[in-house]
Amino acid sequence: MISFNIASIPNRANELVKTIDSIIDQVDIVNICLNNYTINPYIHQKVNVVFADNEHGDAGKFLFLDRTEGYYLTGDDDLIYPPNYVKDMIKEIDKHGIVTHHGRSFDTFPIANYYHSATKRYRCLNDNLELTTVQFGGTGVMGFNTKHFNPPFDIFKRSNMADIWIGLYADKMDKKIWVLPHNEDYFVYQHVQDTIWEEKHLNDEYETKVVNDYFLPQQL
């Protein structure tokens, strides 16, 4: 089974439709967490939806893990995925385990800011010429096989921090997260408002504390 799993908010309904259009023919099922939606904007035999109140934010894309086996791909509703995306991802999942096209790592702790102190940062919208590991992978372009990695939903302690919770759990399970090489035009970005970056990049005290509390004792 190959599933694509995503969470969305109502002001991105049009973008969500374009995102799903780009991926639906590549997978067996599309699972959508519709945060604060009142209607389903994408009715299709391959589409399964859950209506939610946005309590979990972006972690809603992981609500389907307990009922899904196989290749579990997670996405964002501001991206359009290339036609070879799933084929590429499965090939790399089979080689490496947890893979992504976006992520960040820190060399030393404590860090001053989760969003601004990264020693290494890889963006899915930029060229990336190397295959490397990161502590925190972007869940908008992530994939794994549930036989290799299957985090319980209760790891998501606070909303809109999915990348952090997945990174910490992967480290706890001694699983590496790999960032894959790609060209800057591999993904197409849909410009949207109310992004997590806009909300948090100047207000990331909690995120910073969570990361420091986990990694600092390992460094001492």
pLDDT in tens, 59-69: 999 999 998 99
Write down the pLDDT at residue 216: 81
pLDDT tens track for 85-125 = 999 999 999 999 999 999 999 999 999 899 888 899 999 99
More confident site: 193 or 76: 76
Question: CATH for 2-219?
Answer: 3.90.550.10
pLDDT tens track for 153-190 = 999 999 899 999 999 999 999 999 999 999 999 999 99
| Range list of β-strands (E), 131-179 | 132-134, 136-137, 141-145, 177-179
Distance, in Å, from the CA atom of 133 to the CA atom of 61, rounded to the nearest integer, reads 22
Write down the pLDDT at residue 203: 67
pTM value is 0.94
Q: Which residue has the tokens 């780009």?
A: 22
Domain ranges for the chain: 2-219
